[in-house]
Structure 1
Amino acid sequence: MDLFGFGQFLKFEECIRHLATRLALNEQWEYSDPAKELAEGNNAANFPLPVLRNYLEHTFRKVKSEDKIVYTPDKNFACFNTGLVTPNLEDIFAFFELNKFNNPRAPYFFKAFIKKSDIEFLIHFSQNQPESANYFDQPALLLFNPKLQLIPNIDHIIQDNKGRFPEPLRQAPDREIRSRLMGAIDDISKRVRINYKIAIPQFYDNKFQLLLPLYLVDNTKPDLALVVEKINENTYSAWTCLTMGMAYNNARLIVSPHSEWLKP
């Protein structure tokens, strides 16, 4: 079950805009260049506040998988912890009421995003407060280990992601793309071994992976994010790359990335 299969939303865009601008701690929830994201195959750029929408949908799936959606004893109300906070660091929850229209496709009706001190929350959930999603059972996976070798699958990266490459390379021969890509991966492999904080963790398909910036055209601004996954105790593999927006979406599920290179 996904978020929209659990709760019926009226004016979803207005709801999340209120959350972003009036309730939650300020974050960048829009892509800095939506047209570029669309051109590179990121269809999420069609939606308003795409980073926040993605965050809420995936957070719901995670808390549901962890059995952290909380219900009142009579099942008339439900609530989950969004993982977001107010500027004063109060937890923010998504609050639902049983759908009186008996809609099998959405058993609950979304009421509001509410903070911990809200009277509705205190009345129904002060004795059983929903916990936030947990991404920290294996903290070692969130850090790059410089002792492991990184082996990229260059052919697969090019064949499956050519539309995500920057415009100057999209029409270039594979030979030129291969040369640029191998050079960029070699460069970032050396840099991340000097500074492991360059690697940013992401959560995708119920797995932890790491993101590394690839500078293919401009040495001051990354063009793509290389997805790196630990295969065994000796090896990282890289099979794909993401646009900056896609990478930020996945990284934001864990924490708000404070990085010099990864921006939405």
Structure 2
Amino acid sequence: MAGASDLYNWANCTDENRKLNDLASLSFPKEDWSGVERPCKSVDKNLFVLWKYIHHTFGYLTKKEPHKIFENSNYACFNTGLETEKYEEIFAIFKRVTENDKFELVGFYEETNNILNVIRGKLPEPANYIINPSDFIFDATKEMNYSLNHILDERQGRLPKVIKTIPEDYREDVIVNRMRNAYRRLKRNYKLAIPQYSPRHDEIQLLIPVCVTKKTIADCALAVRKIDDVYIAKTILTLDMAYNNARLITRPDPEWLQPLKDANDIKEDDIIGPDES
């Protein structure tokens, strides 16, 4: 179930759309941050992925690395993890007028900007998702098990629409075949596995491309985690969901993970703005 953003609970983000547009212009390399709809009522759809990136990044820092959110009586700041064309880190800075006020988002600025002089010397480091480096590399010597009941019964809506044209008695065979093919591809090229941070489960997982409709084009992704000597395919994700989660760590290689921007994408377990609840 979706929940309110930690950032909105902590600070006011007045004129957020303009400030996120400024961030998109400032960051490099240029990215397509858009989606097919608004992430919340006050932010345009062309900032869909960036909005999720900023809010999930703050949520991760709140839960895992709160020391990387600088805060004093008047100012607060966190590192967005993005950088400019000149490789300067970009920070979100906040201000409040009185002690009882919530912080207010001032905007996003490169590290040499004079507006950051008020907290110069205290600029925090970016979020660190690499706790165990081995979690980021697929080990082809490990077996893989699949949560078939979860994928087919509870998450079938995340599979390509072509699945609904297949008689139910044969769907499981088709999906199992496609997942096994995905595993075989990984054994030949482990780099196809892309790390993601799952905000819901608060863990690093690997995304594996699954080609259902066409043999060479991924149209969904398996999210797997390693438990002891076995990979467990926990769930299936749409490419839009997979891209949003993977982008929290780094910009995904577009070899296979490109969002489809489907207006009917599933939005379970995601964050929402206060005006959506």
TM-score scaled to structure 2, two decimals? 0.83
Structure 2 gaps, min length 5 = 260-277
Report the counterpart of residue 38 of structure 1 in structure 2: none
Report the counterpart of residue 252 of structure 1 in structure 2: 247
- Opposite residue 236 of structure 2, the aligned amino acid is C
Relative contact order: is structure 1 or structure 2 higher (C-alpha 8 Å, sep ≥ 6)?
Answer: 2
Q: Structure 1 residues 137 and 171, CA, compared in 2 at 3 Å: closer, same or farther?
A: same
Alignment of 1:235 with 2:235, yes or no, is no
- Opposite residue 57 of structure 1, the aligned amino acid is H
SS in 2 for 1:262: coil
Report the counterpart of residue 5 of structure 1 in structure 2: 9
The match for 1:169 among 151, 160, 163 is 163
- Opposite residue 177 of structure 1, the aligned amino acid is R
Q: Structure 1 residues 44 and 212, CA, compared in 2 at 3 Å: closer, same or farther?
A: farther
Alignment of 1:17 with 2:15, yes or no, is no
Q: What is the deviation of 1:15?
A: 1.6
SS in 2 for 1:263: coil
Cα contact 1:160–1:240 (8 A) shared by 2: no
Q: What is the deviation of 1:261?
A: 0.1
- Opposite residue 245 of structure 1, the aligned amino acid is D
Structure 1 segment 66-77 matched on structure 2, within 5 A:
66=65, 67-72=67-72, 75-77=73-75
Structure 1 segment 199-214 matched on structure 2, within 5 A:
199-204=193-198, 205-214=201-210
Report the counterpart of residue 138 of structure 1 in structure 2: 132
Cα contact 1:58–1:253 (8 A) shared by 2: yes
Q: Structure 1 residues 13 and 171, CA, compared in 2 at 3 Å: closer, same or farther?
A: farther
Aligned sequence identity (%): 34
Report the counterpart of residue 60 of structure 1 in structure 2: 58
Alignment of 1:108 with 2:111, yes or no, is no
Q: In the aligned structure 2, how far is the partner of 1:243 from the partner of 1:220?
A: 17
Cα contact 1:162–1:170 (8 A) shared by 2: no
- Opposite residue 24 of structure 1, the aligned amino acid is S
Alignment of 1:128 with 2:126, yes or no, is no
Alignment of 1:216 with 2:192, yes or no, is no
Q: In the aligned structure 2, how far is the partner of 1:11 from the partner of 1:193?
A: 48
Q: What is the deviation of 1:99?
A: 4.7
SS in 2 for 1:137: coil
SS in 1 for 2:68: coil
Alignment of 1:160 with 2:154, yes or no, is yes
Cα contact 2:74–2:98 (8 A) shared by 1: no
SS in 2 for 1:82: strand
Cα contact 1:77–1:96 (8 A) shared by 2: yes
Q: In the aligned structure 1, how far is the partner of 2:235 from the partner of 2:55?
A: 23
- RMSD between aligned residues: 2.0
Give the length in aligned residue pairs.
247
SS in 1 for 2:129: coil
